[in-house]
Every structure is written in C-alpha cells, then in structure tokens.
Amino acid sequence: METFDVSVVIGFRDWGADRIRRSASSIMQAFNGVSGELIISDYGSVDPEPVKQVADQIGARYVYTAGDPVWSRSRALNAGFAIAQGELLVSTDADMLFSPKSIRTIVETAREAEDCALFLQCRDLPQSMDDEFFSNHPTVDWVQLERAGRLRPRWGMGGMMAIPARGFEVIRGFDERLHTYGGEDLDFAQRARRAGYRTVWVDDPEVRMYHMWHPPTIRTVEQTEAGREAVAFNKQVVYKDKTFTRNTLAWNWKPKGAAPLVSIVFATKNRADLLVEAIRSVLIQSVQDFEVIVVDDGSDDDSTQVAVESFNDNRIRYFKQPSEGISVARNLALAETRGYFTAVMDDDDIMPPQRLEWQLESITADHVGSAGSFVNFDDETGELHLIVSRLPTIAQAAEKGGAPGHGTWLIRTDVMRSIRYDETLTSGVDNNFFLRLLRSGYKIAHCGKPVLLRRRHKSQVSVVDNSNQGDAAKQALQYFNFGLGKWHLKQLAEEAKELSYPQIGEKADYIRSVQSYLPDSLVRRNATVRVTDDIKFLPRFDGSPYFQRLSRDGLTLSARLTVLNASYSDLVYLMSLGRDLEAELVESENDALSPKTQAGWVLSALEDYLEQTPTGEAVSIHRNNESFNGEVHRGVNYEMISGEVTESINICRHEIGDAVEVPVPWVVYGRTAKEFWS
C-alpha cells in the first residue's frame, strides 16, 4: 500500500462545488514538494456528482457517505481518514484557502516537534470576499488576503488540525457523537493533549489559512429546537467529558489496519475447559475493538490449542512455550500485544460485558490505566461475595501492600512493558508488579464497578501456592517501602485514611448487575440484543430465539432478538448479530417461556406516536392479531387513531416452537405514554 507524508481531509455536505474547488486546489498546490493526498469526504450531499467531478479533475480522492439524516463534521472527517494513507493526518473545512507553502511547512513542523498535535489559526475574510468575489477573481491574490484577513482567536481552534496517524488511532478520531454544529476541533485538541500529544500552534509567515466569508452556520442551527439541543450536547461533551479515548462502542470509520484498542491476555496451562468460558466472556464485550492473546505455558497436550482454534475468530492469537512459569508467559503476551491498552485476565475468570467500557470511561489524563472491584463466585454452589477493592494509590499500598485484583487491570501496554513481570517469582507476581508500577510514579484510576467474576475453586493458584504467595507479598512490600522514612509513611497513612474506597451504590445491586453472566452451570438467563437488519432466518441456538420488530407505517423503529434460556455460546452468537447485549436472570418458569419486553415495546410505539399528536386530543389504539408467512412469522398490528388520522404500528415476532399468547385488545385516551401507564 502506498504511503504519503500527509493526508488532508475536507468534510462537507451540500457546500457548493465551486467553493470546494477553490479550497481543494489551494491544498493541492500547498503540498509543494511533499508527497500528499487530498480526500474530499462528502457526507450525504443531495447531488454528489458536481463535487465528485471536481475531485476527479484536480486529482483528489472522493468518498461518499449516505444515509445519515444529521450533519456531523466528526463523522464526515472520520469517513475520510478511514481511507487515508498519510503519516500525518490533517483535517480542514471546505471554506478554507491555504497559502502555497503551508502544508509542506506543517509537515516539516510536525517532524521537528514529534508527538504533537498541530493547529493553525485561520484568518477570517470580510463579507466582501464571498463566493461571488472569488468567482470574479479566479486567481488568488495572497497579498490582498493577508491585508484583509483578521486572525481568529485561538479558543475557536480555527479549522485545521494535524496529528500523526498513530495519535489519531489512539484517541480514535473525532468523537462521532458530535453532530449538527460545533466543538469537534476543540474536543480533539483536548483529547490529544490528554493522550500525551503536545499542542503546537503553527506560527510561520509562510503558513496561512483564510476563511472565505459566508453566512454563519450557527444562525441557521439555532432556529430549531433540535439544533439548539445538539449544540448544548456538544458543549457538554467538550467541557465535561475528561476521557481521551472515544468511539469505543462503535467506531464506524475505523482506519483499515489500525491497531486494536485493547489486548486481552491470558496465561494458561492444562485448563482448556475453563479458558473457553473465559474467552466467551471476552467475545460478548460491549467494546468489540480488541484482540485476545493466549499463551500456553507448556500444556500436556494440544487441548488448549484446539479450544482456542474452535472459536474461528482471527482476533484470537495462540502462542505456546515450554513450561517456564506464569511470569514468563505473561511477558511473552506483553511482547506480542498490539493494543494500546492491555487487559489482564486469568484463565478461570469471567468478565461482564461492560468491563472494557466501564474502565475506558474512567481513564483520564492523569491515569495510565484503570482497576476495579470484583465478585467472587463459588464454582460449585454459585455463592457470591462482592470484593470492593481499595483505591489503587501509593498511600493505600504503603501500609499493607496489596494490589487490586489482577484480573481487573486495564493498563497502557507501553507502561506494562516497561515494568514487566518478575520471572523469578512463582506466585504473588501481580502484587509485585503493581507495587513497582506505583513506585515508578504511574497513577491508576478505579472505575468503581465490579469488572470481574472471580472463580473460587480448589485448583486456583492462591490455593495451591499459598505459602509462596505470602512470602512474595512480604518481599514486594519491603521493596515498596525501601527509602521511605517514618515521616513519609505517616503522611501516606493519613492520606490513606481520608480516601480508602471508591463510592459505590448498594452492594446487592452491584452483584445483581453481573450475576446473569455466571457460568451456565450456575444460572439460567434470557438474553437480548438490538439488531439493525431484518433477520429473515434465525440461526440455531441452544435456547429458544424470539425476534421482535417494531415498525411505524412500514418504517422500522427498532428490532431486538431474544434467546430464552440462553447459553454462553448463545450470548456469543447474539453479540455477533447485534449490539447492546442484555441478560436477565430467569427467576420463574414464566420468565423462561416469554421475554419481559412487550410493555417496553408498546411504550416505545406510544411515545413515538403521541409525540406527533396534538396536545389534548384523544387517541384510541386498537390491536388486531395478524400472521405473516404462516407459522414462522407472527405479528400484532396496532391501529393508532387520532381524529380522522389512522396510522399503523406493527410488532412482528419470529418464533421457533409454540406461539406466545397475545393479550386482549385495549384502548387508551390521553396525551402521553406516562398518562396511559398510570
């Protein structure tokens, strides 16, 4: 694949071919000897052909994205960067003109500064220099523009951002939640800084970016309630969200070949059956951008390799070494990881689906990772016990040593490689590692969530190697406290008393939030995912599948696939078909026969309909049973009647087995769904 010194992306929608031609042409000239590509990212223009012709004529790449009803500069830029091949990535807008040597100088500045995010203040041109002006003056007079332009304040960021491709991957591009208007560059700049990329303002007389005048977009946006809400939401993200990694649940335009966000590592030996359960819990994570590294520390046969390969998932990589111990195995895993973060797991534990999501949300600029609490479960009885781990600070460790549960760690990979596991130890390895990490000055956040289901059984290391583990803990604490005088220890002890544990809610609620993800032998569960595509044929599940689609006048509002009595294998399959996996415990036989979702579906239909019904007008809703294509598809049709207007809401379900009984028809009068349910 060809690479360039720089890739520049323009994102736009319905912006005018002539204006884009002027901006794009100035960028092509501004490469000025460096190898570069210009990508014009059209995010849903009504008529894409004129700009596509411009791209072809000037030698730019063109990418078109259809189907999104709202304008999002973040998504438009990400769609362009997804195909970019430059070492340096530059974003800008379709109303900017770049001086002839500007892009070349930006590339040279980035090389000299290293590990930085570059920004350029634009110069706003007066109202007289609009589209008509430039149409009448096809040759740009740069001296005239310099005299007329007025420097925009830096807090506005200015419309140009540049960052190395690796930095773009680390913070995962522009935040795709942002849409309609404003905040994208400022948010990106803040996140780049939190991730360790210094902010550098390009200040060079040969680098200029001029903003061609047009009526301010914000005036149009603020005329609608939806527009004002979008602007308010964007501001909330920019000023309140202190994380730097975004688009974790769905990065719709991830660059091809980008490294995974998280590497999940296992060291294992002769426990293939337990490892399979652990890996299944990884595969149902709400954050799906991961790889799994399995290091087999000299198992007696090939059962571990066979188990790993049975998943047929190219995100899972298997390595085998002679039996050299758990520390050697973990260090080998660290050497092979490609993720920006590494999540540690023991081969006999289980992670709840939100583990990676919760921990990534807790990592801010001051932290290199996150830890959490865990729930112990007895492998035979299913008895549960919540362990709320202390805050992972030097103050907490100085008194008694100890570390948050090893299987709750999510830490930057480069930091873990710099610390490494002590290969002279057979037990207490994690405690030793964590204390050395804290003494090195690194800070770890506590996400305040139970991020691990920890299996209690007779063959776990803490049972079979208990004496060595205790000795290792004492040695690690001695090392940790080496060089700390009485005054230091006293200060740390006082600090530890002030803030010992994270703030949590009711312990019973915490346990219940993860209980349905225990092994199949200990619980019965129903599970549901949200799907975007209509499922014509249901795959084979261990449990009983149940597909529901809610449509309004033929337009699908939402769809969900539920499996009753779902196995862990079913959970993995469900996650491959949809997103937002939810599992609920089966507490009675009625739960095992029908999902508890119908009330929520009807409520969604009512809210959608009643929002568009005049206030105070009576609404009647009639339900009629309908069948579709015989035995496989069954549905319920709701006629929503307001005055002389009748609209159709259809709930369709696909079942295997006996049909679920449909409740009797009903009628509702009132303005809101809340009034109906009361």
Which of 553, 580, 552 lies closest to 562 in space, CA to CA? 580
Question: Given pLDDT bands bounded at 50, 70 and 90, which one contains residue 396?
Answer: low
Which pLDDT belongs to residue 427? 78
3-class secondary structure per residue, 540-590: CCCCEEEEEEEEECCEEEEEEEEEECCCHHHHHHHHHHCEEEEEEECCCHH
Q: Between helices 568-577 and 272-283, what is the axis angle to 10°?
A: 30
Structure tokens at 207: 């680098």
pLDDT-derived band at 216, boundaries 50, 70, 90: confident
- Please tell me the least confidently modeled range out of 191-195, 327-331, 343-347, 605-609: 605-609
- Calculate mean pLDDT across residues 29-37: 97
- Looking at every residue in the chain, the average pLDDT score rounds to 84
Distance CA 469, CA 94 (A): 62
Name the more confident of 163 and 615. Answer: 163
H/E run at residue 397: helix 394-400
Q: Which residue has the higher pLDDT, 83 or 558?
A: 83
pTM for the complete prediction?
0.85
pLDDT in the model for residue 2: 81
Q: How high is the pLDDT of residue 534?
A: 64
Q: What is the pLDDT of residue 629?
A: 37
User: CA 611 to CA 604: how far, in whole Å?
Assistant: 11
Within 8 A by CB and 6+ apart from 486, the residues are none
Of the listed ranges 344-358, 427-441, 484-498, the least confidently predicted one is: 484-498
Q: What is the pLDDT of residue 425?
A: 84
pLDDT > 70: what percent of the chain? 76
- Name which of 166, 164, 170 is nearest 340 in CA terms: 170
pLDDT number for residue 589: 74
* 131-155 per-position pLDDT tens digit: 999 999 999 999 999 999 999 876 6
DSSP collapsed to 3 states, 260-304: CCEEEEEEECCCHHHHHHHHHHHHCCCCCCEEEEEEEECCCCCHH
Length of the chain: 678
CA 111 – CA 443 distance, rounded (Å):
30
Q: Once rounded to an integer, what is the mean pLDDT over residues 521-550?
A: 82
Q: Is pLDDT above 60 for 233?
A: yes
Find all residues with CB under 8 Å of 470, minimum gap 6, and list them. 428
Checking if the pLDDT of 6 tops 90, the result is yes
DSSP assignment letter at 182: S
Residue with tokens 């001695």: 478
**What pLDDT was estimated at residue 432?**
87
Residue carrying structure tokens 């006999």 = 348
Q: Which of 211-215, 217-221, 394-398, 671-675 has the highest mean pLDDT?
A: 211-215
pLDDT above 80: residue 445:
yes
More confident residue, 55 or 636: 55
Q: What is the pLDDT of residues 288-339, one digit of tens each?
A: 999 999 999 999 999 999 999 999 999 999 999 999 999 999 999 999 999 9
Q: How confident is the model at residue 397 (pLDDT cuts 50, 70, 90)?
A: low
Residue 306: count of CB within 10 angstroms of its CB: 11
What is the C-alpha separation between 293 and 290, in angstroms, rounded? 10
> What is the mean predicted confidence (pLDDT) over 6-27?
95
Q: pLDDT of 353-369, one tens digit each?
A: 999 999 999 999 889 99
In the predicted structure, residue 580 carries a pLDDT above the cut 80: yes
Span 245-293, pLDDT tens digits: 999 999 999 998 899 999 999 999 999 999 999 999 999 999 999 999 9
What is the pLDDT, as a whole number, of residue 492? 54
What per-residue confidence (pLDDT) applies to 477?
47
pLDDT reported for residue 656: 43
Q: Where on the phi/psi map is residue 382: left (φ > 0), alpha (ψ -120 to 50), or beta? A: left
Of the two residues 278 and 478, the one the predictor is more confident about is 278
pLDDT of residue 502: 79
Which is higher by pLDDT, 663 or 500? 500
